[in-house]
Amino acid sequence: MGGRFVIRGGRPLSGKVRVSGAKNSVLKLMAASLLTPKECVIRNVPRITDVETMAEVLRHLGAEVDWQGPVMRIRSGEFEGRRAPYHLVRRMRASILVLGPLVARFGEAAVAIPGGCNIGARKIDLHLKGLQMLGAEVITEHGYIRVRARRLRGRDIYLDFPSVGATENLMLAAVGAEGITRIENAAREPEIQDLADFLRSLGVEVRGAGTPLVEVEGGLPGKGTDHAAIGDRIEAGTFALAAAVTRGELEVEGVNPLHLRLALEKMAEAGVEVEEREDGFRVRGNERYRAVDVATLPFPGFPTDLQPQMMVLLSLAEGVSVITENVFESRFMFVGELNRMGCDIEIKGQHAVVRGVGRLSGAEVCATDLRAGAALVLAGLAAEGVTEVLDIHHVDRGYESFEEKLRSVGAEISRVGT
Ligand code: UD1
């Protein structure tokens, strides 16, 4: 866990980079494969530690997981284990996504209560309330959430907030319910659409994914599937911002540009040149950037997962930008680290006031979570001198071969320790 990146800043990036499959999609597709006893093949699977953790969760439950390169095969025959233990859930909260499919298929499941998290409290009340509305009994005891249901019944569920995870967990549970489940105020993220496509390929009727009303017709699938996950829009956005902050030029491939349109538009507003392509986009940095205000919101709003990286760009802009974080309650923990590199950022509640500074200076900094870690790497690429980013196991959770990809487009970055 002691690994760190050593970065010598000031090299403009240039060339072509291909993004991997979307972490936030693949994790859910893996959970969804618990719905069928037949083999599910998932393609475009990134080699990152969050996917490794989910593979461990599935194996712990009794599924066979075979993972070669970007192709994963999962077979969840008749198995007994229906419990995701704390040592895995604490490594990755998304483990709770196995609740829905396990209850749908076996009528019972237990998942350790996810512990603390570096970006705020992150409740799961909407997941549990929804499961109860479908007829499940939810008991919380001895550090576990136990869910049991003799039968689930489809019905209308209104989410207080368009939570990505709750929408997905309930879609998955609804597959095992009798009749139709309608999830209102559903999340609209592209990963939800990918999950719906995966379910449809299994023969499940799903309508409306990508809109605020998702409908699932109950009926457990009896067949398997072969499905390629969508490209990772957050990785793509991170590379776009890496090109921008180094005043370089990158072609980013393997992602639907519509999946990060607002983020690309905000970059363009700040002065980055952006050209959309069919399978990605091209970005070109500039000498001078303008301040812009950014507010994170559920999709199609500006993604909270790009907020820290965008903050690095705005730190290099002329003028004062305000970033408002509306999705997570404390996602500014990394700001102190950026300020150590010469940024001038002040936190006022859910707002960050970012005063543009002419230059950043390399320093030793600590990654506090996945996206903060990526932002510190970007800051290091833009800074004068050497930056060391510590605790990069956070970055390894979500970026496949991050430093190799950056090196291939001209960055001077190496990994020290493991
Ligand atoms: C997913 C993504 C994460 C991204 C986030 C928002 C995965 C594995 N992770 O996380 O990278 O940053 O979407 O785009 O896909 N909330 C509740 N009650 C609930 C559920 C959520 O209050 O039952 C709150 C959370 O505390 C948070 C907000 O809703 O403040 C958003 O959470 P949610 O959309 O559920 O995000 P995740 O699915 O956890």
Phi, psi of 157 (to 5 degrees): -125, 130
Residue with tokens 């067949």: 223
Check if the beta carbon of residue 243 is closer than 8 Å to that of residue 237.
no
**Per-residue model confidence (pLDDT) at position 118:** 61
Compute the Cα dihedral for 204, 179, 213, 237 and give only its sign.
negative
Q: Whose CA is nearest to atom 26 of ligand 1?
A: 122
CB atoms within 10 A of CB 58: 25
| Ligand 1 residue neighbourhood (C-beta within 6 Å) | 24, 27, 94, 121-127, 161, 163-166, 187, 304-305, 327-328
Active site residue 117: yes
Q: What are the tokens at 415?
A: 């990994």
Check if the beta carbon of residue 305 is closer than 8 Å to that of residue 371.
yes
Mean pLDDT in consecutive groups of 10 residues from the start of the chain, 418 residues: 89 98 98 97 97 96 97 90 87 94 95 72 88 96 93 97 98 98 98 98 98 98 97 98 98 98 98 97 97 98 98 98 94 96 97 96 96 98 98 96 98 93
Nearest residue to 113 via CA among 133, 93, 130, 129 = 93
Q: How far apart are CA 408 and CA 18, in angstroms?
A: 11
Nearest residue to 4 via CA among 400, 403, 410 = 403
Largest Cα–Cα distance in the chain? 63
**Per-residue model confidence (pLDDT) at position 83:** 85
Bin 380: left if φ > 0, else alpha if -120 < ψ < 50, else beta.
alpha
Helix H or strand E encompassing 137 = strand 137-141
What does 212-270 look like in DSSP terms, one character per residue? SEEEEE-----S-EEEEPPB-HHHHHHHHHHHHHTT-EEEEESS-GGGGHHHHHHHHHH
Q: How far apart are CA 49 and CA 401, in angstroms?
A: 11
128 CA: nearest ligand 1 atom: 23
**Per-residue model confidence (pLDDT) at position 81:** 73
In order of their start, the domains of the chain are 4-20+231-416 (3.65.10.10), 23-228 (3.65.10.10)
The pTM of the full predicted model, rounded to 2 decimals, is: 0.97
Q: Whose CA is nearest to atom 29 of ligand 1?
A: 163
Per DSSP, 179 falls in state S
Check if the beta carbon of residue 397 is closer than 8 Å to that of residue 48.
yes
**Per-residue model confidence (pLDDT) at position 117:** 56
- CA 144, distance to chain mean position in Å, is 24
- The amino acid present at 215, given as its one-letter code, is E
**What is the best residue among 28, 89, 164 to mutate for testing ligand 1's pocket, by most ligand atoms within 8 Å of CB?**
164
